[in-house]
Amino acid sequence: MSVFAGVVVGFIAWFLVRYLVAGLYTVDQNERAVKTIFGRAERIPDVTTLDDPIADHLRPEERERYAYPQVRVIPAGGPYFKWPWERIYKVSIATQTMNMAHDLEQPAANRGGEVLEAVTKDQLNTGLVGQIRYRVSERNLYAYLFGVKRPFVHVMGFFISILRERIANFEAPERVAGDSAILGSQPADASIVSGVSINDLRKNLRDLNEHMERECLSSVARYGITLDASLITGIDPPAEVESALAAINTAHNHVSSDISLAQAAADQKIVQSKRAVEIETLNAQAEVEPLRALAGQLGELKKNGPDALPSYLRNVRLKLYSRARQAFVEVPGGRL
């Protein structure tokens, strides 16, 4: 009887340790968790990702494909408890950084994960260097945990396919009329002058990065991963065209310098011409103003009667006679 009692006590102790004490768990600050019951995630009834604003970036034909259920997310904290038939999936939601050339399936690809190759619109192989920042979205944990087998592989493939498509069709944005970059202050870009796509890409890295961020907004609804930012830092052309590009850019820099000097000289002459016109205008106004004042005075004198103007003219003649050294006066009969 004592042996049986010992077995029972041992079984009870094992059960308590195995299924009760071991059922306690916590969730770290940078983690979120999802519970499954008999292999089925605990869901929010009648709610899918299509009810969340993250689905707004999906194309209409993709909405049915990525209609994942919304699961109950266990926040950071604890301790929590789970039964033996329940399982907890913990996910880190901290922002992480990865080289965009890193291949998760073949680490030796892309020159050991250092440079990503792409083809430009003029059929030139170019190497891209940069990083992407990403984090797991707690608003679509079902897609990350159960939607795809290796979500990071899918996200990297999704990102690289969009990037290569953009590189293959990239054209420098057109300048609008009135832009200060072309109206006087600076000449056109080297990319516009030469028409080489690598120059276009190098001078528009910011536009390229912004385009990638916009196009990758749907990754949250697709795979449950948010691409916070893409930072393409370098575009290296093939070695055989590097010298040609350097020569083109050097020639363009000389042309730009000459244009800038000519523009500066022209601007200086325009300013000088405007100043000369202003001076002559002021001189003309200075000469006209006394005549206007005189006309006003004569008009006022005329209002005083018909004898006012002859008296005024007589006084003016007398003043002039006092200043003159000689005076020629016409007398009747044509004699002086």
Burial class (CB in 10 A: 0-12, 13-18, 19+), 175: middle
| Two tokens, residue 38 | 């008999």
Tell me, which fold does domain 96-238 have in CATH?
A: Tetrahydropterin Synthase; Chain A (3.30.479)
pLDDT along the chain (336 residues), means of 10: 70 68 83 91 90 89 89 89 88 89 83 83 82 89 88 86 86 56 42 56 81 86 85 74 64 78 86 87 83 77 73 74 72 60
Is the pTM above the cut of 0.75? no
Where are the domains positioned within the chain? 2-91, 96-238, 239-319
Q: What is the model's pLDDT at position 16?
A: 66
Please state, in angstroms and rounded to a whole number, the distance separating the CA atoms of residues 306 and 311.
10
DSSP letter assigned to residue 189: -
Q: What is the model's pLDDT at position 90?
A: 92
Q: What is the model's pLDDT at position 187?
A: 44
Q: What is the model's pLDDT at position 154?
A: 85
Please state, in angstroms and rounded to a whole number, the distance separating the CA atoms of residues 218 and 198.
28
CB 234 within 8 A of CB 128: yes
Q: What is the model's pLDDT at position 334?
A: 55
DSSP letter assigned to residue 19: I
Residue 85: phi, psi to the nearest 5?
A: -85, 5
Q: What is the model's pLDDT at position 231?
A: 82
